[in-house]
Amino acid sequence: MRSDNIKKGLERTPHRALMYATGMPKGEMKKPFIGVASSFTDLIPGHVGMRDLERFIEKGVHAGGGYPMMFGLPGICDGIAMGHQGMHYSLPSRDLIADMVESVANGHSLDGLVLLTNCDKITPGMIMAAARLDIPAILVTAGPMMTGRRGTEKLSFIRNTFEAMGRFKAGEIDEKELTECEMGACPGAGSCQGLYTANTMNCLAEAMGLSLPMCGTAPAQMAEKRRIAFDSGERIVGMVKEDLTPSKILTKEAFDNAIRVDLALGGSSNTVLHLLAIAREAGIDLPLERFDELSRTTPHIASFEPVGPHYLEDLHWTGGIPAVLKRLEDLVLDNPTSSGYSVAEIVSKVGEVEDDVLRPMKWPHHPEGGIAILKGNIAPQGAVVKQSGVSDNMMTFSGKAVCYDSEETAMAAIMGGEIKAGDVVVIRYEGPRGGPGMREMLAPTAAIMGLGLGEKVALITDGRFSGGTRGPCIGHISPEAMEGGPIALINDGDTIELDIPNRSLTLKVDEVELEKRRATWTAPEPKIKKGWLSRYSKLVGNASEGAVLK
Domains and CATH numbers, the chain: 31-146+188-348 (3.40.50.2300), 150-184 (no CATH), 373-545 (3.50.30.80)
pLDDT of residue 86: 92
Specify whether the CB–CB gap between 54 and 228 falls below 8 A.
no
Check if the beta carbon of residue 384 is closer than 8 Å to that of residue 478. no
d(CA 425, CA 419): 8
Whether 467 has a pLDDT exceeding 80, the answer reads no
Residue 40 has pLDDT above 90, yes or no: yes
pLDDT at 82: 84
Catalytic residue (choose from 38, 466, 537, 544)? 466
Asked whether 200 and 388 are in contact (CB, 8 A), the reply is no
Q: At 164, is the pLDDT very low, low, confident or very high (cuts 50, 70, 90)?
A: confident
The proportion of the chain whose per-residue pLDDT surpasses 70, expressed as a percent, equals: 100
pLDDT at 470: 81
Element (H, E) at 378: none
Is residue 219 predicted with pLDDT exceeding 90? yes
Residue 181, pLDDT score: 86
Asked, as a colleague might, if the bond just before 436 is cis with ω within 30 of 0, I would say yes
Q: pTM of the predicted model, to two decimals?
A: 0.95
Sequence letter at residue 132: R
pLDDT for 337-396, tens place per residue? 999 999 999 999 999 999 999 999 999 999 999 999 999 999 999 999 999 989 999 999
Count, residues in the chain: 550
Contacts of range 518-527, beta carbons closer than 8 Å, 24 or more positions apart: 518/484, 518/489, 521/484, 521/488, 521/489, 523/482, 523/484, 524/405, 524/429, 524/482, 526/436, 527/406, 527/429, 527/434, 527/435, 527/436
Instruction: Tell me what the pLDDT averaged over the chain comes to.
Output: 95
Please confirm, yes or no, whether 466 is among the known catalytic residues: yes
Given this model, what pLDDT does residue 496 score?
98
Report the percent of the chain where pLDDT is more than 90. 87
In this predicted structure, the answer to whether residue 443 has a pLDDT above a threshold of 90 is no
- Read off the pLDDT band of 52 (50, 70, 90): very high
Torsion-angle region of 519 (φ positive above 0: left; ψ -120 to 50: alpha; else: beta): alpha
